[in-house]
Amino acid sequence: MKPDNLWMPLDTSNESREKIWAQSRSFSQDVWYRFRRKPTAILGLVMLVLVSLFSIVGPFFTPFTYSEQNLQFANVPPRLPITTLEGFDNLFHITHGLRVIEITPQGQLVRQLLLEQDDHNQRRMIFAYDDYREIILDYTERPLMLLDQNGERVTPEGHVWNRTYRFGTDHLGRDILTRLMFGGRISFIIALIAVLANMVIGTVYGSISGYFGGVVDDIMMRIVDIINTIPVMLYVILIKVAMGGAGGLAPMIIALSSVYWVSMARVVRGQVLSLRAQEFVLASRTIGTGTKDIVFRHLVPNTMGPILVTATMLIPTAIFLEAFMSFIGIGIAPPMASLGTMSNDATAAMRSAPYQLFMPAALICILMFAFSFAGDGLRDALDPKLKK
């Protein structure tokens, strides 16, 4: 038999009916609550934190600088095929450039052996190891192999990780890991400049244009259209010529600060146009509030959601733009490390050393995906229509 009290009515009162049972949250808490409920947004935020630590804190823990060269260890990969020879304590790695590098069993690079003789007839190279021992490299056929004491070709026996240069070296023997750190710094500087230029210039320009409307709006928007029709690349070239061909960050900073705010201005103008006819703006005018206070104390704070979202979504475009212009040679000038210049340097050795191109390209992809994921999550979190 079923118990008689399986279903029991709850005691209700007028106070309990009017009580709001949902947890009370402020606007920032509500934004964070919706942001963290999206896994891709959290993933993007975590990626940004890790890359920022890698780029900002990492250079303090590396023994190399972004411009330090060591030509004897040029084009050394992060994972080294090694050969063991009888009678030698250390291991040996043969590079694509017909060089022999001595390596400890732990993976530390010791030195590049000096070439004593190149026998073109037998296609052999003799390297000096010490005063009485020599190492012979046979390049009659591929793969390249060393010869033992009996003159037999010795097959490489596995791999070891490069403990001196964790991500390998480029064609000038520069540490790729250190250069990636400084390249990430450049990308974050560009991202910061893009955000500041967007939020300051674009917000002020767009809010003034949207609030006044009419002839003022038409003139200001035509200026935006003119600026937007000229490619940013042309601005960078003209600025470099005006500065006497100077390289570095200065032309990029000036170009981004000059023209990169036009998209933000259009977004802010559209938001202000829709808000200026609201009751709170009419009430402010009625009580005699000045134009400056109406625009910057009432209208702009009510457009902060679209402003933040637009600024975040434009950051990947700025990072990719800097990398592309550095790649084609009109951005960051060598020897300063940039993800674009690193990719450009790696194209010459793309077949023999593909890791040199993979590393900066992977970091560019990570940065763009991270900012895109975080911006997408921020857009959904700031959307008031999603609030329940």
Instruction: Give the pairing type, strands 91-94 and 159-161.
Output: unpaired
Residue 34 maps to a domain: no
DSSP H stretches of helix in 39-102: 39-56
Instruction: Report the distance separating Cα 363 and Cα 328, nearest Å.
Output: 18
Instruction: Report the distance separating Cα 383 and Cα 378, nearest Å.
Output: 9
Instruction: Report the distance separating Cα 381 and Cα 302, nearest Å.
Output: 15
Q: Which domain holds residue 211?
A: 176-386
pLDDT in tens, the chain (388 residues): 555 666 666 666 666 665 555 567 777 788 888 888 889 999 999 999 999 999 999 999 999 999 899 999 999 999 999 999 988 889 999 998 889 999 999 999 999 999 988 888 888 999 998 878 889 999 888 888 999 888 889 988 889 999 999 999 999 999 999 999 999 998 888 888 878 887 889 999 999 999 888 899 999 999 998 888 888 778 777 877 777 666 667 777 777 777 778 888 998 999 898 888 888 888 888 888 888 888 888 888 888 888 888 888 888 888 888 888 888 887 787 788 889 899 988 988 888 899 999 999 999 999 989 988 998 888 888 865 555 4
Residue type, 386: L
Which residues on adjacent β-strands are paired with residue 83?
A: 92
Residue 311 maps to a domain: yes
Same domain, 108 and 196: no
**CATH assignment of the domain containing 370:** 1.10.3720.10
Same domain, 130 and 156: yes
Instruction: Report the distance separating Cα 292 and Cα 279, nearest Å.
Output: 18
Overall number of domains in the chain: 2
Q: How many residues can be counted in the chain?
A: 388
Q: What residues contact 50, with CB distance under 8 A and at least 6 apart?
A: none
Residue 344 maps to a domain: yes
Residue 18 maps to a domain: no
Report helix, strand or coil for 118.
Answer: strand
Same domain, 104 and 128: yes
Same domain, 231 and 372: yes
Instruction: Report the distance separating Cα 248 and Cα 263, nearest Å.
Output: 25
Predicted TM-score (pTM) of the model is 0.84
8 A C-beta contact, residue 160 and residue 80: yes
Same domain, 193 and 153: no
For residue 109, the surrounding DSSP H or E stretch is strand 109-112
